[in-house]
Amino acid sequence: MLLAVIRCVLAALLGVTLPERCWADQGVQPGLEIGQYPLDALPRVLPPRAAMPCDGSLVTYHGERVRYASPARVYPAFVARLRAFEALLSEQAIAHYGRVPRVLVHLGTQSCRRMRRYPDWVSEHALGNAIDVAGFDFGPLPAHAVAPEGLPRALRGSFSVRIAQHWHARGVVGSWQATFLHDLARALIARPDIFRVLLGPAFPGHQNHLHLDFAPYRVVEVFDDRDPATAKQ
């Protein structure tokens, strides 16, 4: 799995046509083509002592449809990606819970660093071109809202859903939470115009969040097909 990711990333970084499997394995086609995003031309591989391409041209984003628990410092063009994500999140949340989450909890956006596993590569976090989503906080179901059929009573009041606690959750309530997270991830995978790279619990070091970015390559490692609870449908 990890070697497949490396092959896809190297192909993109070296300017080689992306292998078909980098797209086709996920059942999607490219959305915003490589080269059409302002950061696509920026080199992602740097010599060991080269200066990082981190600058101050970032904006602070608090969320529109969903409030962020902490402000997101991101590249200006990445705001459109976050807004599109909030729209898709809202659709999935209404379908599963009858309302939109009040708060989006993330673990960080901009951080001027290289990839921890691959120190020659610039992290998309360094560019403010990524977000690590940990989960969401929901308020009680509004009086006028229609509860989805079968919604557990415990999920009609306030609650939180987190990747770390609920990705593999079981039971009536837990499986409802897990299904929401899995369906949200699948919806994102089907929309490469929102995020090109999605890393989740199937990828080392991502058991508690979804890493979402818009690097100039397509990599998706979210579901572990060996686990029947998260196998792709």
Domain membership of residue 50 (yes or no) is no
* Domain presence at residue 204: yes
Q: Which of 6-10, 109-113, 127-131 has the lowest mean pLDDT?
A: 6-10
Does some domain include residue 20?
Answer: yes
Give domain status of residue 205, yes or no. yes
pLDDT confidence band for 23 (50 / 70 / 90): very low
| Residue 183 within a domain | yes
Q: Which domain holds residue 8?
A: 2-43+56-221
Question: Which residues lie below 8 Å from residue 214, measured CB to CB, with a gap of 6+?
Answer: 37, 39, 78, 81, 124, 129, 130, 195, 196, 197
Residue 96 · residue 148 · CB < 8 Å:
yes
- Counting Cβ atoms within 10 Å, is residue 79 exposed (0-12), middle (13-18) or buried (19+)? middle
Residue 159 has pLDDT above 90, yes or no: yes
Task: Give dist(CA 66, CA 137) in Å, integer.
Answer: 10
90 belongs to a structural domain? yes
Is the pLDDT at 14 greater than 60? The verdict is no
Q: Give the pTM.
A: 0.85
Does 27 reside within a domain? yes
For residue 228, tell me if it sits in a domain: no
173 pLDDT exceeds 70?
Answer: yes
In whole angstroms, what is the distance from residue 233 CA to residue 228 CA? 10
Domain count, the chain: 1
Q: Which two tokens stand for residue 226?
A: 């060996």
Least confident of 13-17, 140-144, 184-188: 13-17
pLDDT above 60: residue 107: yes
